[in-house]
Each structure stands twice: as structure tokens, then as C-alpha cells.
Structure 1
Amino acid sequence: MAVSPPTAEELYHQAQTAFERGRYGESIQTLTQAIALVETNTALEGEIKTWLVTAYEAAGENQRARELCQQLQQHPHRETRKQNRRLMGILSAPRLIRHSEWLTEIPDLTQVSEKREKTYARYESSSKVAPPKPVDLSPDPYQDVQPDLGFVWVVLAGLMLGIGAWAWWG
């Protein structure tokens, strides 16, 4: 059975996933393939190209991002034009100076997450035994509770005083 080629929508979603995982080059390549398959001057084409602008910017290809964003401001789809006008404002904003001590470097965890996904997949496929049920190890909130007898003693003392006063006056 022959595998059908991916549609523009499928490629678009693959590119979004790649972008969200920080794989900007892969996202650019997949978005470019999707654009080749999508009908021109449609809302979907505008969305895909807007994501391409964002991918270019994330990959450090600022000039290409600005040029495409400029073109999209003339797109026939109104929402695409509106989005890209806003995006152009962001792309054209002056860069702030960021001192290295202000930044926190985020380590690349792509290999870790891929390894974890493979481990889980292997566990799921090879495991026939149900995982053990979790045991609640939290302390019993009623284990050390002593009954509060203070109220009982106050009532008894009041009764004794009442009976004593009644016997005295009565």
C-alpha cells in the first residue's frame, strides 16, 4: 500500500511542533514545503507564512523575517495583514542591551526528552504487568488526636456549682 504524501495542513502542524521544541531550522524547512502545497492567497497560506516569519526570527534570520512580514502586510486575507502589522512592530523594535548576568541559560534537553520517550515506549510495549498501585504514605491526620475533655470538665464544674448553690439557698 502506497503512503500518500503529507498535506499542507499536516506539514504545518509538524512545523509547529518542531518550532515549539526549538528546532527552528526544521520548522523553516517544513513550513516551506507546506507553502509549496497550499493554495495561494488563502487564510491557511497566511497562517503558514506568519509562522515562517516567526521561525526565521527565532533562527536568527532577522532580515528574511522582516522581508516576508512586509510582504504579508499586503496579503488578501484581512487577519493575516493585521497580524503581520503587529508582528512588524515587534520585529522593528530596537533591541535592548542584555547583560550576561541578567540572563539564565536554559540547557538543551532535546536528547533527554527523546531518550525518555524511547524508554517509555519500550516500557509500554514490553510491559504486560500492570504497574503497582500507589501507596498513600501521608500521615493519618487523626492518629495523634486526643479528645478535648476541657468542655466536659467545665460543664461538670458548672453543674456542681449550680447544685451546691441550690442546696445552700434552698
Structure 2
Amino acid sequence: MIAAAFERGKRAFEGGQYRGAIAALESATARVNPLSAWGGEIQLFLVSAYEGGGDRQSAQTLCRTLTQHPDLETRDLAKRLLYVLEAPVLKTRPEWIVEIPDLAAAEASDERLQRGSSATPRQPPEPQPWIPEPVDPSLVNLHDNRFIGVALLAVALLGIAIALSI
């Protein structure tokens, strides 16, 4: 029952539904031993849900109590999280913000928005078969360099030597 409420809270938190996450995580916190490691983990998620839901004061208050938690890991995570929560909020300038238009408000009859890109994907060119370049006969040495004659003589002498030794 506690695990189900915790999982519901985590899923709601990850989906951006902070009110649902707060309700589920508060329900899980009420049923678990708050001084256990698991209780600390649930409460840390609750701190994040409070912050996501805009209740920074509740997030900071709960996080301060978790810095005294008996579980070392919970205590360390709470200290790090409290440091972030207590950091000053930076002011943003309008030129730093990029406004993304809402495409749901666009007219359904606008063809330019309904079609995709009109460009067709470009096919790679067919590879050309490799044809070797013709050899210029004037560059080929057609004269006998006596290598073949010497090689045949060596093979013949070797054959005679083997025949005589048998």
C-alpha cells in the first residue's frame, strides 16, 4: 500500500502533475516510518514535489528537518537539496526568453502547417562500375630480357640432377 502510493507519487511527479504527486507522497509519508531510510527517500521526493508545485516554503521547511534525519544518505541529499532551495532566484531578462508558439491555435485549414517539407529526399547517385584504363603499348617492354631462358635452364638442370640421383 505504501509502495503503491510512493510509485503513484513518483509517476505523477515525473509527469509534471505536482498536486497529484504531493497528495500521493503525503499519503505514503503518513503510513511509513519517517525515520527509516525509505521514509527519508519518500520525503525527499515530497520536497521536490512541493518545489515543483510552487510551494517553496513547505519544501524548505521539510528539507531542513531532513538534514537531521538518522539515515546518512538522506541527510546528505537533504543538505544538497536545501542548498539549491535556498539559493537566490535569478532574475531573467525578456531577451533571454525564447517564446515557443502554440501550434494548437493554428488553423486546421492552413496547408503549409499540415504538410511536411515539400522537398523529396535526394537519392545517392548510382555507383559507376570500375573500368580499368587501357594500357599504352609504347610503355610496355616487349623485349626479351633473358629471364625466362635462365629460369627454364635452371629448372632443366634441377630436373636432370634429381633424375641422376635416383
1:84 and 2:62 aligned: no
The amino acid of 1:15's aligned partner reads G
Determine the structure 2 residue equivalent to 1:94: 88
2:61 pairs with 56, 67, 71, which one? 67
TM-score (norm: length of structure 2): 0.67
1:133-168, Cα deviation, whole Å (9 max, x unpaired) = xxxx995x6x7222222x342xx22x552246x38x
- After superposition, the Cα gap between the structure-2 partners of 1:30 and 1:99, relative to the gap in structure 1 and judged at 3 Å, is same
Q: CA deviation at 1:106?
A: 6.7
RMSD: 2.5
* Count of residue pairs brought into register by the alignment: 126
Aligned CA distance change for structure 1 residues 19 and 100 (closer, same or farther; 3 Å): farther
Structure-2 change in CA distance of 1:70 and 1:14 (3 Å): same
1:26, 1:66 → 2: CA distance?
Answer: 20
User: Where does structure 2 lack aligned partners over 5 or more consecutive residues?
Assistant: 103-120, 145-166
SS in 2 for 1:94: coil
Identity %: 37
TM-score w.r.t. the length of structure 1 is 0.65
Q: Displaced runs of 4+ in structure 1, greater than 4 A?
A: 105-108
SS at match of 1:84: helix
Letter in 2 for 1:47: E
Paired with 2:4 and 2:94, the residues of 1 have a C-alpha distance of 39
Distance 2:31 2:122 in 1: 57
SS in 1 for 2:140: helix
Structure 2 counterpart of 1:145? 127
Equivalent of 1:10 in 4, 28, 37 = 4
* Cα displacement string for residues 56-93 of structure 1 (whole angstroms, at most 9, x for unaligned residues): 11111011111000011111111111100111100111
Could you tell me which residue of structure 2 aligns to residue 161 of structure 1?
139
Paired with 2:82 and 2:18, the residues of 1 have a C-alpha distance of 19
Distance 1:19 1:81, change over 3 A: same
